[in-house]
Chain A
């Protein structure tokens, strides 16, 4: 700081000093405690920053060891409000700047937080804001569906847009290139060979060894942020449940939590316990799926069939007890829309015990599978340094020894009563990401047992009441992929003015570009599956 201070106008540091003071107070009891709504966007403390100090604030935050957790813009009247969410030790700080009418540039925070690179490009494409000093001037979420000078999140842009009859394929994106007699360029996608989401990967390979990988995403952008505008809370929760279909509970919970914090609505106890039941059941189903799929990508068909069998049984229980295999639309504003039936109370503990026993049986089989181990151990190693630079989340971070878990670090009800300990490994390879999932499966089964023991009779859902104009809130939930951060702002009629859901994949996708380096192209599906980023949740 001091070296820069000598070179820059002293006055500009007044703001940064205030920020630094606040950042230093991170971890103190009053921080994050919603004693005063002024200066807070529950549960984060709000820190206003002048536009010219935007990058300095990021620099100060980086120096304090903060993690850059999300960034989004919001067109309010003639002005643009830009937000950056920071986290340290489970406390959240929201940096906010307001651009005066007519100004459309802001210093980039990417030089201080590399994980901000794509989110800033997303804001640039959708809002038309220039981030000066950003290292990458290529468009990101914008392909060809709307014009270069059209910005869908501006108030004057109609939801219907002005699309051509047939949108041209994306051309002219400046992929990194390398030349030489040994270098091959391998384009993959957007239509992939399996039953998975679309996106494009561009490999540069020397022989079979990956020299560089560049992701080109945005293919499933379907206008979620714009579509949310004007929705009522119920219909926003439905949309949130489809941000990423495998995270129906996680995204709906984060959106409802944000709306409830904005409106001051407290879900009843039983509703909260049921949300945890749904979230843990979702985590279990997805981890079973991923472990099976990782086995499949190593041609270990036995593992794929066993884990897909366990997942299917689990989903059938979801359907039988809660009415939907993937638990969509079960988390609603104010609580939940499905109760715990008598049948589940009597049968779920047995199903949990059976799954635990099967997992205990399968683990030594994976451990002893020499061909399987040969593929997963040492493949796709992600250095811990990259996790910190990019702000990676969930099992991707935890497999590198960084125990980021909202349920442990910033526990919201009912996790605050459960004492969660994040599952970690340290090797950062495909095996570590697999075994973190394994550990989390067992931990989730314990959580489910506790939920069942502690859930009491009571109402499922609190009455909704419309919040005042511009009421805003943040939802922070540990989805099965990691922290989900969702921002909601209301208009004056109880409807949504701004919705921004940030899936953990936003920070895990760039990690894939790093962990694949030096691996062979045929190991890409395996490495990719071990990260399993959401395309839909990323593209919005």
Chain B
């Protein structure tokens, strides 16, 4: 227990202030974001992540948003286990045809108002996989997409910036 407590004390708080947020433009966006989240979502924005066929790299970077450096929950953004609790669907991958029905069912299960964000190069445009017998390609080929965050995979900072710009518009 002593080891544990002393490790906690020595590691300290590593949570970073985002550079983009210290940028005056993004500070403004951040303030708007906070206002939007406070007004429409009572202070929190619930996200359901759906892997619709990705190689798993995008999942790794989305999951990194929960590590102590990014800790996105402090912005009122949190990841939920069910689409029924979600405001936003973060969809990754080219949509594999085997996941098409599951993605549509997940979208149906998400209450209005809802947004769909396509995460990563594959979700944005099909990436290395494109459209083929097994892949529908971009998420936009299956669902109406409200925002795209490209990158292979997008870094956690790209993801935060993308979410800010979606929610504050």
Contacts and interface: CB of A to CB of B under 8 A. Distances in A.
Interface string A163-186: 100111110000000000000000
A190 B99 contact: yes
A223 B134 contact: yes
A220 B133 contact: no
A210 interface: no
A361 B98 contact: no
Given A144-B98, A168-B101, A309-B14, A245 B134 contact: no
Contacts of A306: 7, 11
B59 interface: yes
A364 B3 contact: yes
Interface residues of B, number: 55
Contacts of A63: none
Contact of A167 (B51, B54, B66, B98): B98
A170 to B, nearest CB: 7
Which of A162, A326, A369 has the most chain B CB atoms inside 10 A of its CB?
A326
A378 B68 CA distance: 30
Nearest to B100: A167
B51 A197 contact: yes
Which of A168, A193, A242, A362 has the most chain B CB atoms inside 10 A of its CB?
A242
Nearest to B57: A245
A191 interface: yes
A170 B98 contact: yes
Contact of A220 (B53, B57, B101, B155): B53
A242 B101 CA distance: 23
Which of A223, A244, A328, A368 has the most chain B CB atoms inside 10 A of its CB?
A223
A351 B127 CA distance: 34
Contacts, number: 172
A224 B54 CA distance: 12
B131 interface: yes
Contacts of A193: 81-82
B69 interface: yes
Given A166-B104, A220-B96, A195 B68 contact: no
B59 A195 contact: yes
A536 B8 CA distance: 36
Given A160-B133, A167-B97, A309-B14, 18 more contacts: A158-B133, A160-B131, A161-B133, A166-B101, A168-B101, A169-B102, A193-B81, A197-B51, A220-B93, A222-B94, A222-B129, A239-B128, A242-B128, A242-B129, A306-B11, A312-B67, A315-B64, A368-B4
11 contacts: A167-B100, A191-B105, A191-B106, A195-B49, A197-B51, A218-B98, A221-B98, A243-B55, A302-B8, A305-B68, A328-B57
